[in-house]
Every structure is written in C-alpha cells, then in structure tokens.
Structure 1
Amino acid sequence: MNWEILADWRISAILLALVLVLAVALWALWEFVSGTQQRRMIAERSALERAEHEAAAPMARLEVALFRTQWGARLHRRIARSGADIRLSTFVVALSAGALSAVVVVWQVLAPFFGLLAAAGVAFLFFSYLNRAEAKRREEFTAQLPDLARVLGNATSAGLALPTAVAMAAEELDGPAGEELARMTESMKLGASFEEAVAELRERMPSRELGVLLATLVVSSRSGGSLVTALRNISSTLEHRKETRREVRTTLSETTSTVWALGAMSVGAVFLINSIEPGIMRVMTTSVSGIAVLLVVAALFTLGFVLVNRITRFEL
C-alpha cells in the first residue's frame, strides 16, 4: 500500500514538474515574442526619428529646394546618369566652395581678374568631370550591349516573355547594364508598360546601338517575329562595333590628352611669370590693353579646346 502511495506521489511530482517546465517554456516564449516586437517598435521608432532628423537637416532642405528648380532637376538627372555616388546638394555646395576658394586664393596671388577666371575654371572642371563620368558610364553600358543581346536572345529562345527576359538579364549582368535593367524591371512592376520602360531607359542612356536594340524589342513586343534571330544578329554586329570604337578611341586619346596638358601648362605659365616678376599680372590687369590681351588669349584657348573636342568626337 505504501509503495502504491509512493508511486502515485512520484507520478504526481513528475506531472507537476512537467507542468512547471511547460509553464516556464511558455513564459519564455511569450517574453521572447514580446521582446522582439518591442525591439522592432523601438527600431522603427528610431528609424523614423532618424529619417525625420535627416529630413530636417540643412543639406536635406537644400536638396529639396534645388530639386524643385528646373536646373536642379536636370543636374540631378545628370548625376544619376553618371553613376556618381554624390547628392545634388553636396555637388552644388562643393562647387560653390571650390569656386569661392579659387576666387579668394587667385585674387590674392595674381589679380581680381584672374580670380573670376579661376571661379569659371573650377565650374568648368566640375562639369567636365560630370561629362566624363556620364560618357564613361555610357561607354561601359554600350560595351555590355552584345552580352545583353545574347542573354535576351537565349531567354526568348527558351520561351520567356520579354519582361521576364529583361529581369533575368538584370540579375546576370553587372553594372551599369544590370543597374539600368533593374530600374527598367522595377518600373514595369510599378505599372509602366514595356514601351514606357524602354523610353525611360533610352532617355537615361542615349546611344545609337541601344536605340537599335530597344527598337527591335519594341517592334517584337508589338507584332512578334523572329526575335531570337534578330537578337543574335544584333549581338554579332554590336561586338564588331565595340572593337571599332575601341580602336578609334585609342587613336584619339593622344590628341585629347595633349589638349588637357596644354591647358594645364598655360595656367602654370601664368603663375610662373608672376613668380618671376611679382605683381606683373596685377599691373597688367590695371590697363585696358592688358585685359584685352588676356581676354583674347583666354578666348583662343577656349576656341582651340572646343574645336579639338568637336574634331575628336565620333559617332559610329
């Protein structure tokens, strides 16, 4: 009898222990879930507060103010096309600070006239960098067009629709083609038609080769046809054009480098003359004839730079 009572007590104790363990486990699970939700709420609240703080920052307000202007919106599109990881407000502030610093330094070293020219030169360098970044990214995108046409041809030959083929190409290709195709895919996901997404891509990346490829895709999406054969032919043609462009660019690189070297040497010559004869540039800018000579020299250098730039520009 005592053994039966002892066994019953053991069973009861085991059951009680299991109940306590289950209760503790449920309590721990509840604490974990509630703690996770609380941490998420704190993170969301901190992210919201951080976003509000960033939106209230002076640079963010300047960004919004610049973007509302037509000039600022156009400059923002150019920065986006160049692929530069810089905000519109940062670019404008850096440009203004560089121009102001050039005015102050060159004004004191040479003369007020050269200070104004230095400010114009700083602005020219900033926008030249932007132009070169745009051209470089466009050239890199153009160089990827044969691979793009090949990927689209393989995808369409497998029976995939054009939007799906574009999304697959965005995943397989590196930037900038992968980035631009990802934007195109995201635009179609948000409700834009294939033609509208193509038009946006063509506006961001103006190129004759891209125009031919996109026109083929648009015509095929409207009327059908042998898209696979067309894409393979386009891929072969673009490969040959890429090699030709590379050869021409290599031939013209020496001329463009010489122009930039001459421009740097002319600026250095001005400082060299002023160091040999201190104050000569300030004296020269005090007379009308001296200012006229300097303006003629600057105009000739500018004209030469523009002419060489036009001559070395090529379109295949």
Structure 2
Amino acid sequence: MNWQMAAILAGLAAVLLVALAALWQFVTSAEQRRLIAARSALDQAEYAASTPMARLERALHRTQWGARLSRRIARSGTDLRVSTFVVALVGGSLLAVVVVWQVLAPFFGLLAAAGVAFLFFSYLNRAEGKRREEFTGQLPDLARVLGNATSAGLALPTAVAIAADELDGPAGEELRRMTESMKLGASFEEAVAELRERMPSRELGVLLSTLLVASRSGGSLVTALRNISTTLENRKETRREVQTILSETTSTVWALGFMSAGALFLINAIEPGILRTMTTSAAGIGVLLVVAALFVTGFTLVSRITKFDL
C-alpha cells in the first residue's frame, strides 16, 4: 500500500515538473520573441498585433456590437480597449457566479452575473454622461474663443484649431479630432457631423448649427457667438442647480440597491442555507422574481424621473 502511494506521489511530482518545465519554456520563448521584436519598430508592431488581446480586439471591431461599444468607450474618455472591457466583464461575471453560487444559491449566482454586467455598463454610461457634461460646461468658453477668433478675421477651421489649442479637457480633445479630420480631407460639415455624433447635446447642436449657417451663408457670426456664449453660461448654471437638487435622490437609489444585495448575505448569515432552500421551490423562486421585478421597475422609474434635458 505504501509503495502504491509513493508511486502515485512520484507520478504527480513528475507531472508537476513537466508542467513547470513547459511553463518555463513558454515564458522564455515569449521573452525571446519580445526581445527580437524590439529590434525594429515594424517587428515590434507585428509582435503587438499578434498577441491574443490584439486578435480579440480585431475580432470585436468586426462585429456591430463591438464597433458600437468602441464608440461608447471613446465617448466616455476612458483609456480602455474594447477587448480589455469585454475580458474584465466576462471575468467579473464568472467570478460573481462562482462566489455567489457557493455562498447563497445557484439562482443568485445568475442574478449576480447580470448585476456585474449592469454595473459595468452603468459605469460606462456614467463616464459618458460625465464627459458630456464637462464638454457642455466648456461650450461658453468655446463660443467665446470662436467669437474672438472670427472677429479677428480668421476662417472657421482656423478658429476651431485655435480653440483646440486653448481649451483643455474634453472640448480640446474633441476639437483636435475635428481638426485632424479636416486635415485628412473631410469637409467642415462632415467634421461637425462627426463631433455631434460623438457628443450629442442640445447646446452643442445650437452652436454647431450656427457655425454651419455662418459657413454657408455668412452673416454676423461674431454677434451670434457672443449671444450664444451668454445663453450657454446661463443654461450651465441652471443645469448645475438642477443636478444638485436631484443628486440626493439618485444617491439614495444606488444606496438602496447595494443595501438590498447586502441584505441577502445578511439573511443567509443569520439563517445559513435559507436562500438555497427557498430557491428549491417554485413559490420561492416566484417570490424572488416578483421582488426583483419590482426593484428593477422602481430603479428604472426613479432614473427616468431624475433624468432631465434642459
């Protein structure tokens, strides 16, 4: 019996040594490929394009969903690749399923995966909204800079390039994209349409419409831009006041959501296995589904009520 156990342990040790040798060989070869690729910019670019994450990035960009997600990430201003976002989303969902499945019940594991996906896209929505609000807050300064540049006799593309250099944050970045697009051959109207697609807002629409009308038919652009600057400044203050009033409500909704999830773990800690027992019956699952539906409905209603468009 002892020699059989020793043989099994020896076999396991041999398998472990072979696995470690294979892992070491893989790491060594990868390091050698990296050093070879670093000898020239072309080889380095080819090596970077051949990595699994790069191949996944290209595959995602070929799909309609991946292209739309890429545009959303670009609008959010986060320094994140689509492949990284998808891998983190899938990994977080699987981890939530495994942990919650074991701690609570399989039913809650599936809900946890959906919750992780909801949190990821909620973060993306929040980042998009925050960057859009920052951009909208810079529109009065943008209108002022464009008005000063055009009053000095500069053309609109030149005025946009000057505004891109003078403004920081999202406005400067978006205007630089607009300038680069015009340098590559796009017309002013096409560059304006791309900017409006990246940063959809009513204030930007008014400003860009004024610029388009002026570029086509002329007119007193300086006076119009100065009037728009004053109007946008007033709207900026109004939006800030409304956001301050509604921030307490939105924070309360998110706090209730996290408290509800924490209450499940608290109930399971007080009475271990009660939730697993509850999900074994059709009545228990029905009650949980009704509660989840009511919570989602309330969250959606509050989100729509607190959403405003000045």
What's the TM-score, normalizing by structure 2?
0.88
Residue correspondence of structure 1 range 131-142 to structure 2 within 5 A: 131-142=125-136
Residue correspondence of structure 1 range 126-205 to structure 2 within 5 A: 126-205=120-199
Instruction: Please report how far the alpha carbon of residue 240 of structure 1 lies from its aligned counterpart in structure 2 after TM superposition.
Output: 0.2
**Aligned partner of 1:136: which letter?**
K
From 118, 121, 124, the equivalent of 2:115 is 121
Distance 1:164 1:262, change over 3 A: same
8 Å CA contact 2:89–2:117 kept in 1: the answer is yes
Q: Does 1:270 align with 2:264?
A: yes
Instruction: Please report how far the alpha carbon of residue 43 of structure 1 lies from its aligned counterpart in structure 2 after TM superposition.
Output: 10
CA distance in 2, matches of 1:204, 1:127: 18
From 244, 251, 270, the equivalent of 1:250 is 244
Name the residue aligned to 1:73.
Answer: 67
Deviation digits for residues 27-50 of structure 1 (CA, Å, limit 9, x no counterpart) = xxxxxxxxxxxxxxx999521111
Larger radius of gyration between Structure 1 and Structure 2: 1
From 220, 231, 237, the equivalent of 1:237 is 231
Instruction: Please report how far the alpha carbon of residue 175 of structure 1 lies from its aligned counterpart in structure 2 after TM superposition.
Output: 1.4
After the TM superposition, list the runs of 4 or more consecutive aligned residues in structure 1 that deviate by more than 2 angstroms: 42-45
Distance 1:278 1:47, change over 3 A: same
SS at match of 1:308: helix
**Aligned partner of 1:83: which letter?**
G
CA distance in 2, matches of 1:293, 1:84: 40
Name the residue aligned to 1:111.
Answer: 105
The answer for unaligned runs of 5 or more in structure 1 is 1-41
**Aligned partner of 1:287: which letter?**
S
CA distance in 2, matches of 1:259, 1:218: 42
CA distance in 2, matches of 1:223, 1:145: 23
CA distance in 1, matches of 2:80, 2:191: 25
Deviation digits for residues 127-182 of structure 1 (CA, Å, limit 9, x no counterpart) = 00000000000000000000000000000000000000000000000010000000
From 261, 268, 280, the equivalent of 1:286 is 280
Deviation digits for residues 11-39 of structure 1 (CA, Å, limit 9, x no counterpart) = xxxxxxxxxxxxxxxxxxxxxxxxxxxxx
Question: What percent of counterpart residues are identical?
Answer: 84
Deviation digits for residues 243-269 of structure 1 (CA, Å, limit 9, x no counterpart) = 000000000000000000000110000
Q: Does 1:223 align with 2:217?
A: yes
From 91, 95, 98, the equivalent of 2:89 is 95
CA distance in 2, matches of 1:151, 1:253: 32
What's the TM-score, normalizing by structure 1?
0.86
Q: Does 1:46 align with 2:40?
A: yes
